[in-house]
Every structure is written in C-alpha cells, then in structure tokens.
Structure 1
Amino acid sequence: MLGLLAGLGGCLLAPSDKPPPLPVNARYSATSFPPTPGRRMNADVSGPESVLRSEQLVTNLDIPGAWWEVYRNPDLNRLVVMALTNSPSLKAMQRGLRVAWEQRRVEGAGLYPQVSAQLMPSWNKVSHDLSNVPIQNYWNYSMHTLQLQVGYVPDLWGGKAEAIIAAGAQADIQRFQLEATALTLISNLVNDVFMDAGLRSQIQVKKSLVTQADQILTIMNSQQALGETSVENTLLQRNVLDQQDSDLPPLEKQLAQNRDQIAILVGVPPSTPLPEFQLDQFTLPAQLPMTLPAQLLEQRPDVQAARAQITAAAAQVGIAIANRLPNLQLSASPGYIAEAMKNFFTPSMGNYTLMATVTQPLFQGGSLVHAQRAARQVFLQSVEEYKNTVLTAIGDVADSLHAIEHDSQTLVASEDGLEAAQKTYAIARAKNRLGDNSRIDVLAADFLVLLDRQSVIQDEVLRFTDTVALFQALGGGWWHRNDLGMSAKDAKRLSTSLLPW
C-alpha cells in the first residue's frame, strides 16, 4: 500500500542534494608524514618506555569502536564504558534521536487517508409558532448522527515525499550529533585520565624539588653562620624554595578539579571513589591510522551531519515549490441520521457526501514565492557550510598529525636533556664521594634532574593526548559502535518504517 500511495506523488521538485566534491588536491600536508622520532622497540612494549617509541602512520588503518583500548589500561576501559552508560548528556541526545524519528513518521502519516468518526446525539425543542402541530403533534424531538470523515490529499507534486525526506534528514543530523557527543565525551574522558596521571607525576616531582631546595637552603644557612656564603646567596635560595613551594597548590587544585571533571563525565558525583592513574600504566600505540580525506568524509560525524543538512534544505525547496502548485483534496462523509440509535444501519437512514476540491494559490502577497527563494538560499547556505565543515575536518587531522610529529621531537629532545642531567648528577655524586665537590653541588645537580623530569612528564602527556586528538579527528570508530541506546534492529525499524503503528 505504501508503494501505491507513494506512486501517486508526482515528480520531485527539489534540487539535487549531492554534496560538493572534495577541494582540489585535498591533502593533510604538502609533504608526507614520516614515522615519529623515537626509539625503535617491539610493538608489544608497555610501560614508561613505550612513550618514546617510533610510531608508524598507516594509511587506511581502520579505527576500532573501542579505540581507547589501545592504551592497555583496564581502569580506563571501565571508565569509558561507565561514561557511555551513565552520561545524562548522551542519554538526552538518544531521546532526541527518538523524537526526530517519530517526527519523520508524523510526516509519513500524510501518505495515508485521514479517517475520523463522529457521534452527535442532540435533543431539540421547536417553537410553537414554527412547529407544524397538526401534522407533527409535538415540539420536542431527538436526533442522532453517526458520521465518518474520510479525507485524502494525493501527493501530486512530491511535497509530502519531500517533507518525509526533510524529516529523515533532520533525524540523520540528530544521529550524527549524537555520535559527535559520544566521541567528544570519550575523548574528553581519556584526555582527563592522562591529565590525572600527568598531574600526579608532576606533583610528586614538585614535592621532590621542594625537598631538594629546602635541603640546599639548610646547608646554606649553616654556611652563612660560618661565614662561608653571603646573605644574598641564602636569600636567593630562599626565593627558589618559596617559588617551588608556591607552584604546588595550583597543581593540587588542578588535579582535584580534573578528578571532579572525570566523575562528571562518567556520570557520578565527584565524591565517588575512582581509580588513580600513573603514566607508566599506559602504552602508546605502535601504529596510528591516517585515513585518506575522501574516506574521512564518511567517518566524521560533523561532516555527515552537514551532508544531511544539505538533504534537508534541498527537500525544503521542493516543499516550497509544491506549495505554489494546484492542490487536490478528496473527501467522503458516509453516515446515518436517525431519531433513535436503534434505527442506525437501516437503508432509509443512510447518507453520504463525496467531494473533490482543487485549490490553486493565486495571490498571498508574494509569501509563497519569497518562501521558495528563502528555501533556495538556505540550501545554498548549507552547501557552503558543508564545504567549510570538510575543510575544518581535514584541518583537524592535519593539526593532529603535525602535533604528533613535533611533540614527539620535543619529547626526544627533553629525554636527551634528562639523560644529560642524570649523567651530570652521577658525576657530581662520584666527585662528592672523592671529596672533589660539596653536598650542595650534588643537590643542585639532582635539582636540575627533577626540573628536566618535570618537562619530560609534560611532554609525555602531550604525546598521549595528541594520539587522542588524532582518533577524534578521524571520527573515533563510531561505525563500529552502538551509541544509540537501543538495539540495531529497533534503530532500523524506527528510522525506516512509515507504518502507522
């Protein structure tokens, strides 16, 4: 029946909703991306050394739905599953998707005849002056009317079909916004977990720096009392200690607020106990995906939403055109009118009306033509917004790849500096054992090691978050995941069916 009703619709008047092609020579960079600098090591290596590995960018490497599992941390995996299960923002988007699918089915109801029934009992009194008393012999009487109203508007110009397409496209927009919400939720949570680990390491190093600075100051105070160092040098060391001490509370505040944010993303109150993380608990993946731009368009939720927006806008143009064309409405009103309900369904009491109405808009002050022009401009606007979304998507991937390349270089340089500082510290200790330097020289060398270690920690966090940014920029593997809050079977039924139940 659906096919028959749809066949009654005439030609579709909307413009083509085919999205514009990729920009000419669309690439992430004018030059290729080599493997990141680092140490060559076995792909299965885990722990603190993995962050120094050389990562290989693999073209068209598929992204798993649970891409966060590449970091090999069970606690992180559990938190992400909790977030996808508990997040109120994600659940709200899932409800919104159901609303959009139901709205599509509301538009689909126009393919069917509209049928309603009326029962109208009435009790009437006629004026004595109007009543034909000799014949009727009464002034009061009852009347019962049972009526069906059947109406059908054939889709002559495809306006209803376009309305269904527009509603379906709006549902697609809602779905891809849902996928973008899920991807943002996962990415933010994974980044916050890495930040948790990094802040803990930085706080530990900062406390060691405070301890080292305090030990140096204690020795210098003793030297000052013996006249072996000046007051100025002691005050300078006091300033170093105070500076290191003042840096600690902001780090602790940032850690506490980051923990609160993790709890919110997971969908639990901040007072809920959650795992604590260390950087050496994560493994950096040995291979990273590098999807080609043409495939990126299918993987990015925002690009897919922009593409659906073109479809919706094109359908609105078709609706605006159909509204200017003649409209045919068919109606039928079969029923019964009787003095008593017991007389219903007898031949003498039946009545009906059959009607066909053709309506052609003639003059509405130009509203219909301007509505069509406005719809056309909205369509052209959606095309340009799609182009901008595509460029933004390509730029996001390019930014992530550049960040991975250069931040890995920074980490290697920081590690080289740390190794040099550690060697200097080892030499200072050896000299101290031989009596060739002072205890302050050893503490000062260790202090420099801690400063370099703090820089390395910050660079390690960047290396992990850069890979998160790449997974997010490439779409995050949503096509391998079910973020809809319902089974795939139910989702298919709700998104495709136009049956009136």
Structure 2
Amino acid sequence: MRKRFSIAVPGRAVSLAAGLAVLSFLAGCKPVGPNYTRPTYTAPPVYKEAGAPTVTVPPPNPDGGAWKPATPSDGMLKGKWWEIYNDPQLNALEERIDVNNQAVKQAMETYLAARDQVKSVRSQLYPQFSVGPGYSYNRLSHHQPDALPTTPTSFNDLLLAGSGSWEPDFWGKIRRSIEVARSTMQADAALQANVSLTLQAEMAADYFQMRGLDSQIRLLKNTVSDLEQQLDLTQRRLSGGVATDVDVAQAQTELETVRAQLVDVSVARAQFEHAIGTIANYTLSNFSIPFAPLDLTLPNVPLGVPSQLLERRPDIAAAERQAQAANAQIGVAISAYYPTITLNGAGGFQSTHGGTWIQGPSALWSLGASATELLFDAGQRHALTDQAKHLYEAQAAGYRNTVFSAFQDVEDNLSTLRTLNEEEAVEKRAVDAAQHSLDLSNQRYKGGVTSYLEVITAETTLLMNQRTLTDLQTRQFASSVQLVRSLGGGWDASQLPK
C-alpha cells in the first residue's frame, strides 16, 4: 500500500525558485547504502617458483624499504606482448585477432551495449519534457443539462501544450543505479580484454606448437635420409657377403617406421595450421603457413612483483568491478524504503480560433508535486535488501577466488618453465650420449664386430631422445606464452573506461 501526498505549488516566482533550490540541495545529498571498498587481499612479497633463467625478476627492495617500483608498468610487458618473440609471422597473425575474430567482436559489442546502458541510466537524473499540438472539432448536445439557447454547440479546440516531470534523486537511487551500470560496463570491458588475451595466447601457443612440429619434421626427414644411406650400405654389404637378409629387412623396417612417423607429424601440423587460421578468421581453403622450424631464442619474460598482478589481469579487474556493481545495488534496494517525490508541470495555449490561439489570454499552466510512500509490502523490501547484500558477499568471494586462482596460474607456469629448463639440460646430455652410442655401433657394425640390430637400437634411441628434446623446447615456448597470459599480457587496469 502506498500513501500519496500532493502539493499545489503557488504561482509566485519567488516561492517557486526557493522550492526548487531546496529540492536541488536535497537531491545532492549523499546516496543511501554503503560506499564501496575493494575486498581485501594481501599479495605475497615474492613469487615462490621464479627460478627459470628466462624469467626477469625485479630486484628486491633494500633494507628499510627505501624504494619500490615507481609505477605498476615498470618492468612489465607492454601492449603487443607477442613482439618479445621477434617473429614477424606471429606478429602479423596476432594483429588480426582484435580486428577480425568474431568472439572478440561479440565481447566488444557486449561492452558497447553496457556503455549505452550507463547513458540511459544517467538520463534519469534530469527532467523529462514533451510538447505537441492538438486539434479537435467538437459538437455538443442541444439537450445537455446546462445547455442554453445562446451556448454554441459546435466549436474548434486548438491546443499547443507541453509538460514536464522530474523525480529528484533525493536518496541516491539513480546515482547508485549509475554506479551499477558503470561498474558493469567496466567489467564487460575487462571481460572483452580477457577474451582478446586468451585468444592471443592460444594463437601464440598453437603457432609455436606448429613450428615445433616443423622442427620434428626436419628431424624426421634428416633421419629418413640417414636411414636411406644405412639401407643402401646394408644392401651393398649383402651383395659383398658380409651382411644378411635379416640386416636388410631390419634396415628397411626402421626406414618405413620413421617415414610413417613423418606422415603422422604432418597430420598434426595441419591441424594446428587450421586452428591458427580459424582464430585469425582466415578462409582455410586459401590459408597456409610456410614451413619454419622453431629455431628462435626463448625470450625473457618480465615478471614484476606479485602485488602488481591485481592490476594486470583483466579477469581480476572484471571480478572486482562486478563486486562494486553488487555493492551499489544494495543502495538501490535501500532507496525503496524512502518516499518517491515527483515534480510536474504543464503549460501552453488553448483557443477555439486560430487568430487568438497564441495570445496571452489563451495561456494555461499548472505546477505540482506529489510524494508516495510505501507503507506495507509484506517484507519485500527487506528481502530484496538482504538479497543484494548476499549477492555482494558472493561477488566479493568470487573476486578473492579469482585472485587466488591467478596466483596459482602464475606459480604453475613459473614452475613448469623452471622444470622444463632443467629437463632440457638433462635431455641434451642424453642426446649427446645417444649420438656417441650410435657412432660406436656404426663403427662396430662396419668392422663386422656386431649385428645390425645394435645399430637399429642405437638409431631408435637417438631419434627418441632427439624428438623428446625438440618437444621440450616447444613446450618451453608454449609455457612462456602461458606465463605471459597468466601475468595479464600487456594489459593493466588503467585501460578500463571511466
């Protein structure tokens, strides 16, 4: 049940001006509901797993904390982060994502819609006016109760009238709604940035995986060439009577096995090429990437300090903005406890003849105000306020959980890079040992000391270790990309729209 109070405003200019001044003052009062404070989270002083040689760690603060990084962007990746890999082909592919990828476009349109919502809500702070002419021809009954012989029964009614209404934001409902819309817009902008970052990282990871397969293809082709020479040597030794048909069959089997592996790797390469073309929005029937083994140098990734991660990851920024929107929604719910006050006015000209239409005696106007207070709602406002508070707590918990997951993400990728670097060093020694073993086996076979089976075993072991080493190097590039993604790429919260 709502109770309505109506007030007739006197037609004196002084009283009207004073009333408007009081209303304007009240409309500027502090909005109801809690002001927002970012949910607390204390970042660790250092990263635990920052031991990989390709990670650049900032120097620690001197004793006593005499200095700290000057700005959040010091020692961090900038904008086009993929350029640290110095690969023109990758740069060209990455540049296409924000322009051509449909997922990015979808996220951008969602953000633009949220931006328009801010403008829509903000318009509620201002009065609404409408104006329009009207015309009607009227004929009255001669037998109406108050009819007189001299009363005209047919006449024109010409009307030019305007009206306005304004609901002053006394309690801050509109201002809190603007805060909700603005925070939602900023969250959508951060989500759009996160979509871009995710696709950029996926593009780079797929690209390096494909180039790693090119390295595998080069290795397998070189091995096929070596095995063809081995088969030729074995066949000549068979003709000379120093080898057997078994040796030739074993050499032929090993050759065909590696050729089959080469075909299999080529299939995987084609799949990565298709994935890259899809992300970059190419027509796949006309898209191809030239063969290029992964001979790049793994770049250093500037790590920054842990506290900067809160400003660098768009998913963290989105969660934090959603928490602010939920906090503002509490104020919107609380404002329902207060009366709704509306000012309205109308004015114009009315006449039965065009010649006297726009004249002083034809003028009409009215001013008024009304206040409506809800007296009984069976607990609805209380329930909605509690609901808004619980939703805020849920968003705050979601923000903290996003932060926890972000630090885990960084630590996981740092650990992976460090482990892969250690594993690569061990695997290089294994490749060297396998190569030495093959050289010795070849010498023993040519000298007639051993069978060709020993050569095949050594050849297979070498190829297995070479492929493992190539795979480790590829995984290092992919993990480097994932570390960049987990650090937020070149993004930071200063890029959020205001």
Match of 1:263 in 2: 277
Describe the shift of the 1:55–1:136 C-alpha distance in structure 2 as closer, same or farther (beyond 3 A).
Answer: closer
Residue 70 of structure 1 contacts residue 284 of structure 1 at CA under 8 Å; is this kept in 2?
no
Tell which deviates more after alignment, 5-14 or 80-89: 5-14
Alignment pair present for 1:116 and 2:116: no
Query: After superposition, where does 1:24-63 map in structure 2 within 5 Å?
Result: 25=44, 28-29=47-48, 33-36=50-53, 56-58=56-58, 61-63=75-77
Give, in whole Å, the separation in 2 of the partners of 1:121 and 1:419: 99
Residue 216 of structure 1 contacts residue 443 of structure 1 at CA under 8 Å; is this kept in 2?
no
Describe the shift of the 1:299–1:147 C-alpha distance in structure 2 as closer, same or farther (beyond 3 A).
Answer: same
Match of 2:425 in 1: 412
Describe the shift of the 1:383–1:335 C-alpha distance in structure 2 as closer, same or farther (beyond 3 A).
Answer: same
Letter in 2 for 1:197: R
Shift, 1:21, TM fit: 2.3
- Which one of the candidate residues 469, 474, 480 is aligned to 2:482? 469
- Count of aligned pairs: 460
Give, in whole Å, the separation in 2 of the partners of 1:329 and 1:197: 68
Match of 2:289 in 1: 275
Describe the shift of the 1:433–1:213 C-alpha distance in structure 2 as closer, same or farther (beyond 3 A).
Answer: closer
CA RMSD after TM alignment: 3.3
Letter in 2 for 1:132: A
Letter in 2 for 1:9: G
Tell which deviates more after alignment, 140-149 or 385-394: 140-149
Give, in whole Å, the separation in 2 of the partners of 1:371 and 1:236: 79
Give, in whole Å, the separation in 2 of the partners of 1:6 and 1:264: 58
Shift, 1:334, TM fit: 1.1
Shift, 1:437, TM fit: 4.8
Question: What's the secondary structure of 2:350's corresponding residue?
Answer: strand
Describe the shift of the 1:107–1:418 C-alpha distance in structure 2 as closer, same or farther (beyond 3 A).
Answer: same
Question: What's the secondary structure of 2:285's corresponding residue?
Answer: coil
Alignment pair present for 1:306 and 2:305: no
Give, in whole Å, the separation in 1 of the partners of 2:293 and 2:84: 14
Question: What's the secondary structure of 2:301's corresponding residue?
Answer: strand
Shift, 1:77, TM fit: 1.0
Match of 1:320 in 2: 333
Give, in whole Å, the separation in 2 of the partners of 1:239 and 1:325: 87
Give, in whole Å, the separation in 1 of the partners of 2:355 and 2:276: 71
Give, in whole Å, the separation in 1 of the partners of 2:43 and 2:483: 23
Match of 1:340 in 2: 353
Describe the shift of the 1:119–1:364 C-alpha distance in structure 2 as closer, same or farther (beyond 3 A).
Answer: farther
Shift, 1:148, TM fit: 1.1
- Which one of the candidate residues 357, 368, 387 is aligned to 1:374? 387
Alignment pair present for 1:197 and 2:215: no
Shift, 1:368, TM fit: 1.8
Match of 2:30 in 1: 11
Match of 1:284 in 2: 298
Residue 197 of structure 1 contacts residue 276 of structure 1 at CA under 8 Å; is this kept in 2?
no
Letter in 2 for 1:296: L
Match of 1:394 in 2: 407
Shift, 1:79, TM fit: 1.2
- Which one of the candidate residues 73, 76, 79 is aligned to 2:93? 79
Describe the shift of the 1:202–1:174 C-alpha distance in structure 2 as closer, same or farther (beyond 3 A).
Answer: same
Residues 198-217 of structure 1: CA deviation (Å, up to 9, x unaligned): 12222343455567778878
Residue 180 of structure 2 contacts residue 329 of structure 2 at CA under 8 Å; is this kept in 1?
yes
Describe the shift of the 1:251–1:6 C-alpha distance in structure 2 as closer, same or farther (beyond 3 A).
Answer: farther
Shift, 1:316, TM fit: 0.4
Alignment pair present for 1:21 and 2:40: yes
Give, in whole Å, the separation in 1 of the partners of 2:136 and 2:264: 80
Match of 2:342 in 1: 329
TM-score scaled by length of structure 2: 0.82
Shift, 1:252, TM fit: 2.7
Describe the shift of the 1:312–1:342 C-alpha distance in structure 2 as closer, same or farther (beyond 3 A).
Answer: farther
Identity, % of aligned positions:
25
Give, in whole Å, the separation in 2 of the partners of 1:13 and 1:323: 10
Give, in whole Å, the separation in 1 of the partners of 2:266 and 2:131: 70
Give, in whole Å, the separation in 1 of the partners of 2:464 and 2:440: 18
Give, in whole Å, the separation in 1 of the partners of 2:388 and 2:486: 32
Question: What's the secondary structure of 1:353's corresponding residue?
Answer: strand
TM-score scaled by length of structure 1: 0.82
Give, in whole Å, the separation in 2 of the partners of 1:6 and 1:215: 94
| Gap runs ≥5 in structure 1 | 37-53, 483-490, 497-501
